Amino acid sequence: MEAGRHAASPEMTTHQRAKKHAERVPKARVDKFSERRAELGEAALTTLAALGYARTSLREIAQNSEFSHGVLHYYFSDKVDLIICSVKQYKARCVKRYDHAVESASTFDELMEGFLQSLADTLRDEGHVHRLWYDLRSQALFEEAFRTDVVQIDKSLEDMIWRIMSRFAELSGEPPGMPPSATYALFDGLFQQALLKHLSGDAKAIADMQADVRQSITRLFAASVPKAAPAAARKRRA
């Protein structure tokens, strides 16, 4: 038997792995196969989030869920395939949630409050899943199998943040003070920092994050203050 015959190629994305895996079944069943993968990925998310990357295998996931090892192995080539599938689906929902906040806000203050509330809700209620995402992103520094998908997910989150900042710009009449990648790094860093504090039992972590995000947005869209005027006034007084 050829060694590693079913192993996923490091360069393959989740979509490519799913397509290759789906070749086991007739084409008439491919759509149902993909739907079942999505269902299993969603159902396994809680277990994955609780265990993290290092402590998981398809067998361990099966032991902590209602699915047999055989079922998981049929639909997923390995734990990388399952974890990527689960996280990708979750992050796609997150993006839509924030897009709704953007679409429903008609003033700068409404958008600010909606954004801050969404950040607080998702950190408080789904912190364990975000922990899995940060675990996955860290593993991508070491495991090539994760990198393509992690970069894609990260880009979708950067685009989401930029859509929010673009709406702030429309409502304030001021352009953002930083480019998209730096803006995303700012808010992602604040969120990750707050997540660690929240998981460590810091009761003020969420409120502190909201205050930091509010201040950051206010500064990003603050109108430029002329610097020459005060000096000119001092000169006239002299």
Mean pLDDT to the nearest integer, 102-119: 92
Contact status, residue 203 vs residue 195, Cβ threshold 8 Å: no
Contact status, residue 157 vs residue 95, Cβ threshold 8 Å: yes
DSSP 78: S
Contact status, residue 153 vs residue 92, Cβ threshold 8 Å: no
Q: Which of 6-20, 28-42, 156-170, 208-222 has the lowest mean pLDDT?
A: 6-20
* pLDDT at 95 (0 to 100): 82
Mean pLDDT to the nearest integer, 42-64: 82
How does residue 48 score in pLDDT terms, banded at 50, 70 and 90? confident
Q: Is 4 left (phi over 0), alpha (psi -120 to 50) or beta?
A: left
- In angstroms, the CA 13 to CA 150 distance is 9
- Tell me the three state secondary structure of residue 197: helix
Element (H, E) at 95: helix 79-104
Provide CB contacts within 8 A for 137, sequence distance 6+. Answer: 150, 154
How does residue 120 score in pLDDT terms, banded at 50, 70 and 90? very high
pLDDT at residue 147 greater than cutoff 60: yes
Q: Which of 11-15, 138-142, 214-218, 233-237 has the lowest mean pLDDT?
A: 233-237
pLDDT digits (tens, 9 = 90+) for 2-12: 444 444 455 56
Mean pLDDT to the nearest integer, 217-226: 71
Q: Which two tokens stand for residue 111?
A: 């958008």
User: Which fold would CATH assign to domain 81-220?
Assistant: Tetracycline Repressor; domain 2 (1.10.357)
If 0-12 CB within 10 Å is exposed, 13-18 middle and 19+ buried, where does residue 52 land? middle
pLDDT digits (tens, 9 = 90+) for 161-185: 999 999 999 999 999 889 999 999 9
pLDDT at residue 226 greater than cutoff 80: no
What ranges do the domains of the chain cover? 14-75, 81-220
